[in-house]
Amino acid sequence: MKPIPYGLASYKRIRKKDCYYLDKTHYIPQLEAIGEFLFFIRPRRFGKSSWLTVLEGYYDINRVDEFDFLFKGTYIYDNPTPEKNSYLILKFNFSEVSPQLDEVKESFYEYTDDCFYFFGVTYRELLGDEYFRMIERKKSPHGKLRFLLRYVGMLGHKVYILVDEYDNFANTILSTAGQTAYHELTRGAGFFRFFFNLLKGAADRMDTGVGRMFITGVSPVTMDDVTSGFNIGQQISLYPELNELLGFTKQDVINILEYYDLESNKLLPLMQEWYDNYRFSSQVEQAMFNTDMVLYFIKDYLRRNAPPDEMIDQNVKIDYGKLRHLMVLDKRLNGNFSYLTNIIKTRKTAIKNVASSFPMERLTKKSNFISLLFYFGLLSYTNKGELQIPNETVKQLMYSYIRDGYEDVDVFNVDVWQLSSLVREMAYQGEWRAVFEFLADEVKKQTSIRDYLTGEKVIQTFLLAYLSVTDYYLIRTEVEMGKGFVDLYMEPFFGKYEDLQYSYLIELKYITRGEFTDDKLKEELAEAKTQLQKYATDARVIKRSQGSQLIKVALVFAGWELKGMSAVENREETSE
């Protein structure tokens, strides 16, 4: 059988190794028709780099003899466009530039020097030795790029400029060195800004050597900053007709599973839970799976005949540092952290419109922060045009951001290993009290967290973040059950842990500290028990909890303090 191309970004290597490959070349004519200078954003690990190598192989004037090898059996082989093999390819991958502040400029110069030199070597027969003599005289990347494009245009040729991870080192500098360093890079006379200004100018020049341009990244922020309002080309990321350009559809995943003789009826629901539900336009029905995660799962499953130990590939995780500067200011959590916690509470946001571009300074605006979460893949459109958390992978990532956020500002820090052990006992032995007692004791010891635990929904989010330190459970929140909305349903992750013994329904009640009395406590516990009994009759709970013992737990908080715990069918335990 064909190898899984997990971790392979080079289209040529994928073809050479005869890997399983999903043909997307029917998008090439569409992209040509849309425009010449295109800017395309997708979350990490969706196949952006691989797609650029497809374009490189198709348009490179030096790869005429490789066309059959690269594209036989694909759509574009039988339906080539007039622009096939007609460009000189100038490609940049800015993830290769060092993000260290004291090295970035020198690294950028050295990296682009290499790109310009090997461009000349690749097309020496077309450019002649004069190219090398002239470009050697230019000292800056801007000067060399200006010369290259004019020289190629003078010879009557056109360059296709491909830029991969255009914002990689700039984003890292923003998150590690701060706004001032980022501004020096992208504003005023910053060398990075000057580089993109030159690209913009070259695209506008008569008889330019620039024929086409395709730029990829994970957010529009840097592009807006370096071009003063995003005017270098078309931002095509939200075009509904390009929703399926990268990623796998449900049918694609079924086809892959069947090709490798895997049980699609068993594995597809599990993969949908963790890797599906990305929509990149409010106008589309078709949901997409993350490319990397599908290949990661199938490759691991073929190796060990079981799901991966870690359902989330480490490569797909967005560094917390990429979000840290958006949520932490002067060792305090800001408004963006509140937006994130609110999204976790509801799994969606009332904002429906995604901004096509915005500068860094405007990230404090809620709608722009929500838009950034969309571009990062932490939010995605539903088939009703709403923005919500797409899958279990993203939920787990967001829970980790909450935990990291509290720890980052010295608000709350727990022994995760001990907590994980207690959750395991909860899953296999039914010992649920120890988990909540542990968290309640830590809140008593670490007084800073108390300022954040105000209200039932905030406490609910807090529990979500810390009950998710393991993946024994898929934790549902605010799901309609038994004509009500359950606060927390801890559904056993049977897809990975077939022997889990216990599932949980948890109802939270909140009393302000000034209103708390023993009678009020009893009243709230009684109401919670009644609600839990109704939730337990829901057909979905019965189906999803089958094979486990369902425990119904009532928790009552007065302010930040856990005042009462009770299992519906067991004796009540109350603690002051």
Which structural domains are found in the chain, ordered by start?
A: 22-237 (3.40.50), 250-316 (no CATH), 414-576 (no CATH)
Separation CA 439–CA 415 (nearest Å): 10
pLDDT digits (tens, 9 = 90+) for 235-258: 999 999 999 999 999 999 999 999
pLDDT at 176: 78
Tokens standing for residue 563: 């005042």
The H-or-E segment that residue 201 falls in is helix 191-204
In sequence order, the 6+-apart residues with CB closer than 8 A to the CB of 122 are 62, 88, 89
For 3, 170, 260, 448, the CA distances from 303, given in Å and listed in that order, are 12, 38, 12, 46
Query: Does the structure show a pLDDT above 80 at 553?
Result: yes
Name beta bridge partners: 60: 87
User: What is the DSSP secondary structure assignment for residue 381, as one 8-state letter?
Assistant: E
Can you tell me the distance from the alpha carbon of 208 to that of 289, in angstroms, rounded to the nearest whole number? Answer: 39
**Cα separations (Å) of 294 from 244, 271, 307?**
15, 7, 11
Q: Is 333 helix (H, G, I), strand (E, B) or coil?
A: strand
Q: What is the pLDDT of residue 55?
A: 98
Encoding tokens for residue 537? 């009759």
As to burial, measured by CB atoms within 10 angstroms (0-12 exposed, 13-18 middle, 19+ buried), residue 95 is middle
pTM of the predicted protein model: 0.91
Q: Is the pLDDT of residue 203 over 80?
A: no
Q: Is the pLDDT of residue 522 over 80?
A: yes
**What's the start-to-end Cα distance of the chain, in Å?**
63
Model confidence band, residue 292 (pLDDT cutoffs 50, 70, 90): very high
Where is average pLDDT lowest: 25-29, 311-315, 412-416, 467-471? 311-315
Half-sphere exposure of 519 (CA within 13 A, CB side): 1
Average pLDDT (377-383) is 94
Structure confidence by residue, pLDDT tens digits, 171-190: 888 877 778 888 888 877 78
pLDDT > 70 fraction of the chain, expressed in percent and rounded: 95
Counting beta carbons within 10 angstroms of the beta carbon of residue 188, is it exposed (0 to 12), middle (13 to 18) or buried (19 or more)? exposed
Which residues pair with residue 476 across a beta bridge? 489
Q: What pLDDT sits at residue 502? A: 96
**Given this model, what pLDDT does residue 314 score?**
83
Reply yes or no on whether the pLDDT at 476 is more than 90.
no
For position 570, what pLDDT does the model report?
44
**Placement of tokens 């990296």 in the chain:** 111
In sequence order, what are the residues at sequence separation of 6 or more whose Cβ sits closer than 8 angstroms to the Cβ of residue 4? 19, 20, 295, 298, 299, 302
**Confidence grade of residue 572 (pLDDT, cut at 50, 70, 90):** very low
Q: What is the DSSP string of 94-143?
A: GGGS---TTTHHHHHHHHHHHHHHHHHHHTHHHH-THHHHHHTT--SHHH
In sequence order, what are the beta bridge partners of 332? 329
Question: Any residues with CB less than 8 A from the CB of 170 and at least 6 apart, and which?
Answer: 94, 182, 185, 186, 192, 222
Map residue 488 onto helix, strand or coil.
strand
Question: What's the confidence (pLDDT) of residue 539?
Answer: 87
Give me the chain's average pLDDT, please.
90
How are the residues of the chain apportioned to helix, strand and coil, as percentages rounded to the nearest 5?
Answer: 50, 15, 35
The confidence score (pLDDT) of residue 160 equals: 97
pLDDT at 254: 97
Least confident of 170-179, 197-206, 272-281, 416-425: 197-206
- Say which residue, 172 or 208, is predicted with more confidence: 172
Name the most confidently modeled range: 67-71, 467-471, 541-545. 67-71
Look at residues 275, 313, 307, 271 and name the one whose alpha carbon lies nearest to residue 498: 307
How many CB atoms neighbour CB 358 within 10 A?
A: 21
> How far is the C-alpha of 294 from the C-alpha of 296, rounded, in Å?
5
pLDDT band at 230; cut points 50, 70, 90: low
How far is C-alpha 572 from the chain's CA centre? 43
pLDDT at 574: 40
- Rounded-to-integer distance, Cα 439 and Cα 205, Å: 64
Mean of pLDDT values over 396-407: 89
CA–CA gap between residue 407 and residue 470 (Å, rounded): 18
Question: What is the tens place of the pLDDT at every residue in 310-355?
Answer: 999 888 877 666 777 777 755 677 778 888 888 887 778 888 899 8
CA angle 385, 493, 316 (to 5 degrees): 55
Query: Tens digit of pLDDT for each residue in 76-105?
Result: 999 999 999 999 999 999 999 999 999 999
pLDDT above 90 for 135: yes
Residue 224 has what pLDDT?
83
- Residue-wise pLDDT tens digits, 151-169: 999 999 999 999 999 988 8
